[in-house]
Amino acid sequence: MAGHAHDVLLLNGPNLNLLGRREPGIYGARSLEDIVTGLRKEAAALGIGLTAFQSNAEHELVDRVHAAADDGTAAVLINPGAFTHTSVALRDALTGIDLPFIEVHLSNIHAREPFRRHSYFSDVALGSIVGLGATGYTLALRAIASHLQQQGGA
Ligand code: DQA
């Protein structure tokens, strides 16, 4: 077992590799790399190990979630991108590994097209953060750190 009680897996779904270039009015000017660099600093300050993975492929995200069951991951932060609104498979992967996860969206999915209002993740997530841009990832990291601490992890 490689990890310890405070290892967090950050997952980003399709098109989030384009952050910074993709509809910046909606998703912000920061690249995913920039966001992850900032999160690593925050994670270090919180005593958390952070692993980041982005994929445009549903099966790769499903496989990465499965791997998290056995690699010492304590919790997951996930922005499923468009899979939020379509993927029963990714939802089932997360419920299947029985680790707490927080759902993050840069944009406010409730204030956009009607098809974005439904999430396959919200009802099984520990919590969801929407509409706060990249700050949402930081808040999710702080929230999961405090959750894991309350669970009595080392
Ligand atoms: C998103 C919202 C989704 O509706 C969209 O498909 C994305 C990004 C967000 O972070 O706001 O790709 O998850």
pLDDT tens digits, 120-152: 999 999 999 999 999 999 999 999 999 999 987
Asked whether 119 and 128 are in contact (CB, 8 A), the reply is: yes
Task: List helix spans (H) across 47-87.
Answer: 58-68
Q: Whose CA is nearest to atom 13 of ligand 1?
A: 81
pTM for the full model?
Answer: 0.95
Q: What is the pLDDT of residue 20?
A: 95
Residue 106: which residues within 8 A CB-CB, separation 6 or more? 19, 26, 27, 28, 79, 131, 132, 133, 134, 136
Q: What is the pLDDT of residue 14?
A: 98
For the chain, how far is it from start to end, CA to CA, in angstroms?
A: 15
Answer for the pair 137, 104: CB distance below 8 angstroms, yes or no: yes
Q: What is the pLDDT of residues 48-100, one digit of tens each?
A: 999 999 999 999 999 999 999 999 999 999 999 999 999 999 999 999 998 99
Contact 5, 48 (CB under 8 A): no
105 close to ligand 1 (CB < 6 Angstrom): yes
Provide mean pLDDT across the span 22-33. 94
Q: How many CB atoms lie within 10 A of CB 54?
A: 21
Residue nearest to atom 8 of ligand 1 (CA): 81
